[in-house]
A and B are shown apart, each in its own frame.
Chain A
Amino acid sequence: MAQRRTVVDIAAGVSSGALSASAVLEENLAAIGSREKEIHAFNLVTAERARERAAQIDTDVKAGKKVGRLAGVTIALKDNMCTRGVETTCSSKILAGWKPPYDATVVRRLADEGAVFVGKTNLDEFAMGSSTENSAFGPTRNPLDTSRVPGGSSGGSAAAVAAGFAAASFGSDTGGSIRQPAALCGLVGVKPTYGTVSRQGLIAFGSSLDQIGPFSSTVADSALLMEVIAGHDPLDSTSIPQPAPSLLNVLDQGVKGMRIGRITDMPEGSSPDVLARLEAAFEALRGAGAQIVDVKMPSMSFGLTAYYLVAPAEASSNLARFDGVRYGLRVDAKDLNAMYGATRAAGFGDEVKRRIMLGTYALSAGYYDAYYGKALKVRRLIADDFAKAYESCDAILTPTSPTVAFKFGDKTSNPLAMYLCDVFTIPTNLAGHAAMSVPFGTGEAGLPVGVQVLAPALGEAPMFRVAAELERNA
């Protein structure tokens, strides 16, 4: 495994002139050269653009120009974030070859701070999946054990950092798509509070659930990346009108006096190795002066059920825009309606079709109240459970994933088994809260286990305090 540099070290080194951005990039490109064929983290590696960018940063540093907070930091972007003039596919045949005419807000903010983009990473098609096996361009392999999945849907972004292809990466999390692959690849992964990070230029899956967030090797790296990407964006009408939170300055505060929730009625099904690490995490926080308190989440186990109506309903509506008119694939036909049907049939994969069908059905006349309407009420119950729990605690710990990374094909034949991967991550998205996964030791077969830190809306600062404490004790 290639030696991994941290974001914090690169940014400090490059801006002071002690480290060359080009040299950092070449290390990543060398790692890509030796392992990308086997891993398939990327849909596209933008090596030449990256080289030009890194050289420019080195020139600016030498000339004494001010460089940004991420000078020379190599970053991989999930291929559902728009990058101007650079192919953006969502790992779908329906968008293959499309070059967006604009950058996502997150992409622009990273570029403004001196980030060097290494490429666009593979995902489950339109971010629908938990293993990256649903990509139209083939699966991504877990760099820690290539017989296993990296998780999903942001599996390419997780694999890229784990394999040393980039110092950090970005994914999107609709029901766990950052946190679960972070756990399975031994990384830190953050799902910010809904509205904290702009969704402008993120190709929408579930608009009331989606958030962009970082993958990194350390908690401090994610804190720095969050400080750069978060904060109000007038181009996203769901963006919360306040500045990015300060997170780097809370990492050393410890957890003394903090109240950490343990869910006593947590959904079952986690494997013993994962539960053992969760217990160790509670012990570590107790040892550091936190108080562990019991909380109840009676509706938590219904989260999965509600999510698998809410997310497909929103997806069926969002994906209506892929109709062969403005971008991507078109299958010619005699009239407009026939062209729509033929294009969408040829362009979307199985899982995407399944969710469009489920969502369209759940929203259709006669079924709306029985399905979508009911799911929205369950969503409220989950938010209410959290609100009650946070009256007595500052953060909650759960497993991120019920198991360590699983083998290819283990869950592909049964959609419900795949959906269960996200049982602990989904409730956060439904409530719109903050959550992150922190690597905390290993389980079965020596594979990493992630512990999930949950915090209320805009609770990023306490969440990062807890995450930093876990990292010190991992």
Chain B
Amino acid sequence: MPEAISRETVAKVARLARLDLTDAEIERMTSQLAGMLDHFRDVDALDLSNVEPMNQPIPLTNVLRDDVVAPSLDRDEVLASAPAAQDGRFRVPPIIGFEE
């Protein structure tokens, strides 16, 4: 089991999760996550060496369908609920070129 979670790790995870946390939030999360991860040590009591991980409950195979054209969502209706749209597309801020 890895050692207790550090403030730096929490800050890094926040960046991975695209969450701008305040310093106070990072402080609080560090202690709360440490508490939850500590709780998880309970499972060290179990022998898991020969156990297959279970990703989901029902045995599934790929679900395929014929590749035929069918009605889909109305574009204007979809874009009407977007924060910004232009020329039938979602509008977003610049993706590159503004790194500091």
Query: Which A residues are closer than 8 A to B by beta carbons?
Result: 97-102, 194-195, 207-208, 234, 237-238, 240, 299, 302, 305-306, 308-309, 316, 320, 323-330, 332-342, 344-345, 348, 353-354, 356-358, 360-361, 364, 366-367, 370-371, 373-381, 383, 415-416, 430-433, 457
The docked-state distance in angstroms from the alpha carbon of A345 to that of B81 is 20
Residues of B within 8 A of A360 (CB): 13, 16-17
Asked whether, in the complex, the Cβ of B21 is within 8 Å of the Cβ of A370, the reply is: no
For A327, the chain B residues whose CB sits under 8 A away are 81-83
B contact patch SS: loop
CB distance from B28 to the nearest CB of A (A): 9
Tell me which residues from 42 to 56 in chain B have a Cβ below 8 Å from any Cβ of chain A: 42-43, 46, 48, 51-56
Q: Which of B9, B21, B53 contacts A376 (CB 8 A)?
A: B53
In the complex, what residue of chain A is closest to B100 when comparing beta carbons? A334
State whether B93 touches A335 (Cβ < 8 A).
yes
Given contacts A99-B81, A374-B43, contact A358 B33 (CB under 8 A): yes
* Chain B residues whose CB sits within 8 angstroms of the CB of A102 once the complex forms: 73
**A361–B46 touching, CB < 8 Å:** no
- Residue of B35, B40, B54, B82 near A309 (CB, 8 A) is B40
How many residues of chain B get a CB closer than 8 Å to chain A's CBs?
Answer: 56
**What separation, in Å, do the CA atoms of A357 and B15 have in the docked complex?**
10
A377 in contact with B52 (CB, 8 Å):
yes
Cβ-defined contact, B93 with A302, below 8 A:
no
Provide the residues of chain B in CB contact with A234, threshold 8 Å: 65
Complex contacts, A416 vs chain B, CB 8 Å = 35-36, 39
Q: Determine whether the beta carbon of B56 is less than 8 Å from that of A378.
A: no
B76, chain A: closest CB distance, angstroms? 9
List the B side residues contacting A98 at CB < 8 Å.
81
Closest residue on chain A to residue B35 by CB atoms: A416
- B57 on the interface (CB 8 Å rule)? yes
The reply to whether A370 and B25 form a contact with Cβ atoms under 8 Å apart is no
B55 cross-chain contacts in A, Cβ below 8 A: 208, 376
Expressed in whole angstroms, the minimum distance between the Cβ of A249 and any Cβ of chain B is 25
Pick the contact of A353 from B1, B19, B35 — CB < 8 Å? Answer: B19
Q: Which of A325, A348, A381, A415 contacts B19 (CB 8 A)?
A: A348
Cβ-based interface call for B20 (8 A): yes
Q: Is the Cβ of B39 less than 8 Å from the Cβ of A356?
A: no
Given contacts A234-B65, A334-B93, whether A328 and B83 have CB atoms under 8 Å apart is: yes
In contact, A208 and B56 (Cβ under 8 angstroms) = yes
* Closest B residue by C-beta to A328: B83
Q: Are B56 and A332 in contact (CB under 8 A)?
A: no
Output the least CB separation between A356 and chain B (Å): 5
Report whether A356 and B52 are in contact in the complex, using a CB–CB cutoff of 8 Å: no
When C-beta atoms are compared, the residue in chain B nearest to A334 turns out to be B98
On chain A, the residues within 8 Å of B42 by CB distance are: 302, 305
Q: How far is the CB of B75 from chain A (nearest CB, A)?
A: 9
Output the least CB separation between A332 and chain B (Å): 7
Distance in Å from the Cβ of B8 to the closest Cβ of chain A?
13
Residues of A near B29 (CB, < 8 A) are 353-354, 357
Q: How close is A159's CB to chain B, nearest CB, in angstroms?
A: 28
CB <8 Å contact, B53 and A371: no
